[in-house]
Chain A
Amino acid sequence: MMTEVAPAEESERSGLAETYVRSAPEAIRLAYLLTGDRALAEDLAQEAFVRFVARLHYIRDRHAVDAYLRRTIVNLSRNYFRRRALERSFLERQAGHRPLEHVEPDVSTHQAMRAALLGLPVRQRAALVLRYYEDLPETQIADILRCRPSTVRSLVSRGLQALRQIPEVTR
C-alpha cells in the first residue's frame, strides 16, 4: 500500500535531502581527518546524519546541522577508536603477546605527517583538526570535546609537540 506523503512532510524530506547534499562533503572530510579511512569516514558521516534526523524534533534550531554533525562525528570517531582499542587489547590477551611496534612509513613529509596525525591520541587529534582545519575557537572545541578551554590549549600544544618529533616535520 502506498503511503501518502503530506506536503509539509515532503517539504521537510526535501529540505533534509538538500541539507545532506550540502553537509555531507564537509562531514566526510572531517571524519577522514579523524580516522584516516575514507570508507569509515563515509560511514561515520552517514551515521551522524542519521542521528541528526532522529533527533530532529529535539533540536531547537534545525539550521544547526553542521555543528551537530561536527560534534557527532567527533564522538563517533572517539567511540570507534575506543572500541577498537578494547578489541585489540582483548585479542592481544587472547594471543598472549604484546602488540607489534607501529612502523612509520618512510616516505614524503605529507605521508609522515599523515601517519603522525593518525598516531596521535584521539582527543589530541580532534583538538588539532577542530582548531586548524575547522578553525573553531577554543570555547567551541571545548564544548565538542566536553572539556575546558584550557584543556583544549593543552591538547593542541601536546599534539603540536608530538608532530614536531617527527624528523620530516622538524627538518
Chain B
Amino acid sequence: MTDQTDIREFLHRMADETGFAPVEPRPVVRKARRRLSLTVGGTLLAVGALVAGGMVGADRLMTGTQTPAGRGQTGPAGSPEVSGRPPGGAPKVDYVIDLNTDVMTPLPESIIRTAGETAEAGWPAWQRDACSAGVGCADARYVVSPDGSLLAYVGTGDEGTPQIFIAGIDGTGVRQMTHEAIGATWPAWSPDGTMIAYARSGERGSIGPLFVLDVATGERKQVPGFEGDAEVIFDGLQFTPDRASLLYTGHRGLQTVSIAGGFGGSRLLIGPGDDPGELGGVRNGSLSPDGSLVTFNGGEFGSGRDLQRWVANADGTGRRELAPCYDSIPAGTWSPDGSRIVCNEDVPPMHAILVVDVVTGHATRVATGRAAIWLDDHTLLVER
C-alpha cells in the first residue's frame, strides 16, 4: 500500500465483499470520479450531499471555508493580519534562527543524524502528500529544557523505532532515553528541568499510556489515570507550570491529567460545543509560562471559517481570536516572556512559521519550516 489510490482501491474491494454492487462504477482516480459524478447516476449523490450539508450546516456552507492567509496576503476577513515574508536561504535541515538578525544556523550534525528528519526519506507517497497538504508533520518535536541547555526530541532509536533523545543544544551528549517497543513521542520538559514526560506509541497508531522520565536516573513512571484512549486526538504534551499535571488534547477538548493520579486527577480545561458561537474541534492547546493564559485551535460554529486560533484565560473565559495557526508544539509554543506564540501556517508548500503577538493578534512570517519552538525570547528552533 503505497499511496492514496491504493487506499481507494482497497476500500472499494472491501466494500465489494458485501455482495452489493455499487450503484455506479467507481473509478479509483479522484479526478475521474468527479467527472463521472456529473453523469445522471452520480448527480443525485452529489446534489443530495450538497443539499443535506445545507440542512445541517447551512451557515457554514453558505459562507464556505477559508484557508489561512497565503504568502504576502492578509488574513481572512475579521481575523488579525498576517504579514511579512520569511527570509530566504534557510538551511535544508533543522535550524536555529535569531529573530533580531535573521541569522540561521543548522543544528549540530549529531542531532540531525538522530532526529526524526532522517525518517522522512522512507515515507511512502501518501505520507509525503499528507505533509505537503500541511498536516502536522513535525516529527522531531523538539522541546528545550527550561535552562535552555538541553533539547529533548523524537529520533530514530537503536531499535529503528521513534524514541525520545536528549542532547546538549551544541550537539554534545546525544543520549537515547527511551526503549519503548513500538515507539515514544511528544516529549515535554518539566518546569524544573528534572523530568521529561512523553507518550508511548501503541499499536495501530494509538497513543498512551503517558510516562514521566527522571532525566538523571532514566527511571520512568507511568502517569496513572491515562492508559490511552482510542478516541484521543493527541497533538502534544505540556507540563502545567505547577509541575503537577500534563496538558493534552483529548476527544472532549483540552484536558489535564495529574501525574500523581488520585481523585479528580483528570480535568477538562476547554471543551467543544455544537451551537453557534461555541467551539468545535478544540485542540493543540498550550499554557502560557505563568499558566494564566491558554492558546489553542478551535473552529467557532457559524463563523464560516476553517481555521481559528484563540487565546483565552486558562479557564476558557475571555476568548480572543489570534491570527490563524495550523499547528504548534505545545511545550514550545509560548515565548519565555509570555508575550508571543510561535506556530506554523498551513500554506503548502511554503509552511511559514508565524510569530503572533498575543496582545494585538498580529502575526509575522519569520521562517520556513513545519514547526518551531522558542529557545529564548528572540531565537527559534525550526524543524524543516
Question: Contacting B11 at CB < 8 Å: which of A33, A85, A122, A155?
Answer: A33
The answer for the CA separation of A93 and B185 in the assembled complex, in Å, is: 30
- 22 contacts across the A-B interface (CB closer than 8 A): A25-B23, A28-B18, A29-B22, A32-B15, A63-B44, A65-B44, A66-B44, A66-B52, A67-B53, A68-B48, A70-B49, A120-B205, A124-B205, A135-B34, A140-B49, A146-B274, A147-B280, A148-B298, A150-B281, A150-B306, A153-B133, A162-B206
Min CB gap B134→A, angstroms: 8
Q: Are A140 and B235 in contact (CB under 8 A)?
A: no
Min CB gap A19→B, angstroms: 10
The answer for the CA separation of A119 and B202 in the assembled complex, in Å, is: 12
A67 in contact with B52 given A150-B326, A156-B130 (CB within 8 Å): yes
Please give me the residue from chain B that is nearest to A36 by CB atom.
Answer: B14
Please give me the residue from chain B that is nearest to A159 by CB atom.
Answer: B205
Min CB gap B141→A, angstroms: 14
Contacts of B280 in A (CB 8 A): 146-148, 151
The answer for the CA separation of A148 and B278 in the assembled complex, in Å, is: 12
A157 in contact with B130 given A110-B13, A132-B8 (CB within 8 Å): yes
Contacts of A157 in B (CB 8 A): 130, 135-137
* Contact bitstring A108-124, B, C-beta under 8 A = 1, else 0: 01100110110111111
Q: Are A139 and B283 in contact (CB under 8 A)?
A: no
Q: Does A6 contact B (CB under 8 A)?
A: no
Q: Does A154 contact B (CB under 8 A)?
A: yes
The answer for the CA separation of A164 and B316 in the assembled complex, in Å, is: 37
Please give me the residue from chain A that is nearest to B135 by CB atom.
Answer: A157
Question: Contacting A128 at CB < 8 Å: which of B7, B60, B182, B230?
Answer: B7
A interface residues, Cβ below 8 angstroms from B: 22-26, 28-30, 32-33, 38, 41, 59-61, 63-68, 70-71, 85, 102, 109-110, 113-114, 116-117, 119-124, 128-129, 132-133, 135-136, 138-140, 143, 146-151, 153-166, 168-170
The answer for the CA separation of A26 and B23 in the assembled complex, in Å, is: 7
Q: Are A64 and B233 in contact (CB under 8 A)?
A: no
Q: Are B205 and A65 in contact (CB under 8 A)?
A: no
Q: Does B127 contact A (CB under 8 A)?
A: yes
Contacts of A30 in B (CB 8 A): 15
A165 in contact with B326 given A29-B20, A32-B17 (CB within 8 Å): no
The answer for the CA separation of A17 and B55 in the assembled complex, in Å, is: 23
Q: Which residues between 288 and 345 of chain B lie within 8 Å of chain A, taking CB atoms?
A: 297-299, 306-307, 326
Q: Does B21 contact A (CB under 8 A)?
A: yes
Min CB gap B252→A, angstroms: 13
Contacts of A151 in B (CB 8 A): 233, 280-281, 283
Min CB gap A58→B, angstroms: 9
Q: Does B83 contact A (CB under 8 A)?
A: no
Contacts of B17 in A (CB 8 A): 32, 38
Give 6 closest A-B pairs by Cβ, nearest first.
A162-B205, A67-B52, A148-B299, A25-B20, A148-B281, A29-B15
Contacts of A138 in B (CB 8 A): 65
Starting from the known contacts A61-B52, A165-B203, 11 additional A-B residue pairs (CB-CB under 8 Å) come to A32-B15, A33-B15, A60-B55, A64-B48, A68-B52, A113-B14, A119-B204, A133-B15, A138-B65, A147-B281, A159-B205
Q: Are A67 and B51 in contact (CB under 8 A)?
A: yes
The answer for the CA separation of A117 and B306 in the assembled complex, in Å, is: 27
Min CB gap B122→A, angstroms: 8
Q: Are A129 and B11 in contact (CB under 8 A)?
A: yes
The answer for the CA separation of A123 and B235 in the assembled complex, in Å, is: 16
Min CB gap B156→A, angstroms: 15
Q: Does B45 contact A (CB under 8 A)?
A: yes
Q: Does B93 contact A (CB under 8 A)?
A: no
Question: Contacting B55 at CB < 8 Å: which of A24, A64, A122, A135?
Answer: A64
Q: Does B33 contact A (CB under 8 A)?
A: yes
Q: Does B379 contact A (CB under 8 A)?
A: no
Contacts of A120 in B (CB 8 A): 204-205
Q: Are B306 and A148 in contact (CB under 8 A)?
A: yes
Contacts of B232 in A (CB 8 A): 121
Contacts of A24 in B (CB 8 A): 20
Q: Are A160 and B230 in contact (CB under 8 A)?
A: no
Q: Are A160 and B127 in contact (CB under 8 A)?
A: yes
The answer for the CA separation of A124 and B18 in the assembled complex, in Å, is: 22
Contacts of B134 in A (CB 8 A): 153
Contacts of A153 in B (CB 8 A): 133-135
Q: Are B51 and A149 in contact (CB under 8 A)?
A: no
The answer for the CA separation of A70 and B11 in the assembled complex, in Å, is: 16
Q: Which residues between 200 and 214 of chain B lie within 8 Å of chain A, taking CB atoms?
A: 203-206
Q: Are B204 and A132 in contact (CB under 8 A)?
A: no
Please give me the residue from chain A that is nearest to B68 by CB atom.
Answer: A150
Contacts of B306 in A (CB 8 A): 139, 148-150
Q: Are A65 and B48 in contact (CB under 8 A)?
A: yes
The answer for the CA separation of A47 and B52 in the assembled complex, in Å, is: 18
